[in-house]
């Protein structure tokens, strides 16, 4: 079930923490009900903790991806993320000079941009103005725009989601299209506007929609790595991403 997966976000083994975040990402993508279930099961807190302070880089990156999917079109998630000062962490994830997140990883950039876009779309407490007033964010976005403009055609194709996220975030913050938009680099010929992926896990967790979630402290067994690619008997849905260290 979902609750054991969330427990493994606190596992002492970094590889298990990263894989658990991968599972959460799959569960909540484009699935408001699963997003709510994760929030109610106290899954937000360990994800934020792993994102901001996990000693393992891969676990931090995986937590970032899960958080980005969790707060997408999710007002309670955005509010919780804002209160946790998640903006600073997202901004750092886009910073090419950051020692914590290397921005040559397109997945990291896309997750950070997606999270920032959700914050920019949130109109409560002047949040959009908070983003727009950050000179550092503007410089970072401008740097990404310039990098995209210089990409070879095959790299532009691979950066489809990033191109559209950068332009959407620029419009949300500064109320005008980005240079990418004006130069026709947001949606290339033959492409369609970016859409969220289909729900691939909603039916798997359908029983949880009709049953209350039980919160429980992690047991000693759950803090050990069984060493067979499972989380205490739960087969992992996703393996480590190519090129990520464990």
Question: If DSSP codes are grouped into helix, strand and coil, which group holds residue 230?
Answer: strand
Classify 243 in phi/psi space as left (phi over 0), alpha (psi -120 to 50) or beta. Answer: left
Q: What is the pLDDT of residue 138?
A: 85
CB 166 within 8 A of CB 144: yes
Render 171-190 in DSSP notation, one character per residue: HHHHSS--HHHHTT-SS-TT
Return per-residue pLDDT of the chain as tens, 246 residues. 788 999 999 999 999 999 999 999 999 988 999 999 999 999 999 999 999 889 998 899 899 999 999 998 898 998 899 888 887 777 777 664 444 454 456 777 888 888 888 888 776 545 555 555 567 778 888 988 999 999 999 899 989 999 999 999 999 888 899 999 999 999 988 887 655 444 444 444 444 444 444 444 444 444 444 444 444 433 333 333 444 444
Q: Alpha helices of 29-159 — where are they, by DSSP H?
A: 32-40, 44-53, 57-71, 75-83, 86-94, 106-121, 127-132, 135-149, 153-158
Residues 204-221: pLDDT tens digits?
444 444 444 444 444 444
CB 17 within 8 A of CB 50: yes
Domain ranges across the chain: 1-72+197-240, 102-195
Residue found under tokens 């359908």: 206
């Amino acid at each position: 079930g979902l609750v054991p997966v969330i427990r493994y976000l606190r596992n002492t083994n970094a590889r298990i923490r990263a894989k658990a975040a991968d599972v959460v990402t799959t569960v909540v993508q484009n699935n408001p009900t699963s997003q709510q279930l994760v929030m109610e099961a106290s899954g937000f807190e360990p994800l934020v903790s792993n994102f901001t302070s996990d000693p393992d880089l891969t676990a931090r990156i995986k937590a970032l991806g899960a958080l980005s999917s969790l707060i997408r079109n999710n007002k309670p998630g955005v509010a919780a993320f804002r209160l946790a000062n998640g903006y600073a962490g997202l901004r750092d994830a886009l910073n090419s000079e950051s020692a914590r997140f290397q921005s040559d990883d397109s997945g990291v950039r896309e997750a950070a941009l997606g999270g920032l876009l959700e914050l920019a779309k949130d109109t409560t407490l002047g949040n959009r103005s908070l983003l727009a007033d950050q000179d550092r964010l503007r410089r970072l976005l401008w740097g990404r725009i310039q990098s995209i403009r210089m990409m070879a055609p095959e790299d532009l194709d691979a950066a489809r989601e990033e191109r559209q996220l950068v332009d959407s975030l620029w419009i949300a913050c500064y109320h005008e299209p980005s240079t990418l938009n004006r130069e026709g680099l947001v949606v290339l010929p033959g492409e369609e506007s970016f859409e969220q992926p289909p729900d691939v896990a909603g039916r798997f967790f359908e029983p949880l929609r009709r049953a209350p979630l039980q919160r429980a402290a992690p047991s000693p067994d759950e803090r050990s790595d069984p060493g067979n690619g499972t989380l205490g008997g739960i087969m992992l849905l996703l393996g480590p991403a190519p090129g990520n260290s464990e």
